């Protein structure tokens, strides 16, 4: 499995925003990178950098070691990316998205939905019946909704994610 850089950077962006991608690029193919060097290159504070690193750590995307600066007396962190875990995370995030949409799709298929003409509420038929098909926000009568388009969109999205997964596992 060789995950394309494009997908890896996409994942870092999802996890930690555009600055996350920049941090990734500075760490790539290096070992024990001094946090002060990264912060300086990106013109961000150490705290801003640590916030980004914290997001990486939630996914174990890197390891860190800490050394005491003898002169200044404070600790400096050194970071090394964890490539295997990065690859796994790229795939895992796609799977997570897919499973969320699959759940939503099941719900769309399992229920008839009712919609307020003013778009205040959207309810399953069971809930709409309890309120005599009246919108509890504006009092309008709810309309039965045709959710075929929503279902189609979700199915397309699942197909796209499936294709992506296949490409990633080549």
Which residues sit at the interface with Zn ion, rule CB under 5 A?
116, 118, 120, 135, 137-138, 140
Question: CB-wise, 1 or 138, nearer to Zn ion?
Answer: 138
Does residue 158 contact residue 102 with C-beta atoms inside 8 Å?
yes
For every residue of 31-62, DSSP letters joined together read: SSEEHHHHHHHHT--HHHHHHHHHHHHHTT-E
Q: Which structure tokens are listed for 76?
A: 């400096």
Closest separation in Å from C-beta 141 to Zn ion: 9
Question: CB-wise, 26 or 120, nearer to Zn ion?
Answer: 120
Helix, coil or strand: residue 69: coil
Question: CB-wise, 140 or 150, nearer to Zn ion?
Answer: 140
Question: CB-wise, 36 or 133, nearer to Zn ion?
Answer: 133
Closest separation in Å from C-beta 139 to Zn ion: 7
Report d(CA 154, CA 101) in Å as an integer: 7
Question: CB-wise, 22 or 123, nearer to Zn ion?
Answer: 123
Across the strands, what pairs with 63? 80
Across the strands, what pairs with 81? 62
Closest separation in Å from C-beta 137 to Zn ion: 4
Across the strands, what pairs with 65? 78
Across the strands, what pairs with 113? 124, 145
Sheet holding 143-145, edge to edge: 122-124, 113-115, 143-145
Closest separation in Å from C-beta 130 to Zn ion: 16
Closest separation in Å from C-beta 145 to Zn ion: 13
């Amino acid at each position: 499995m060789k995950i394309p850089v494009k997908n890896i950077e996409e994942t870092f962006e999802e996890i930690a925003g555009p600055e996350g991608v920049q941090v990734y690029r500075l760490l790539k193919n290096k070992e024990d990178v001094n946090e002060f060097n990264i912060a300086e290159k990106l013109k961000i504070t150490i705290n801003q950098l640590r916030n980004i690193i914290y997001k990486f750590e939630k996914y174990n995307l890197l390891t860190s070691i800490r050394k005491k600066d003898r002169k200044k007396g404070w600790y400096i962190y050194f970071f090394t990316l964890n490539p295997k875990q990065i690859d796994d995370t790229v795939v895992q995030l796609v799977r997570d998205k897919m499973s969320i949409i699959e759940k939503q799709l099941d719900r769309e298929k399992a229920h008839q939905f009712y919609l307020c003409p003013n778009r205040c509420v959207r309810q399953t038929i069971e809930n709409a019946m309890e309120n005599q098909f009246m919108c509890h926000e504006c009092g309008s009568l709810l309309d039965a909704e045709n959710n075929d388009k929503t279902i189609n969109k979700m199915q397309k999205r699942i197909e796209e994610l499936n294709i992506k997964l296949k490409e990633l596992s080549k």
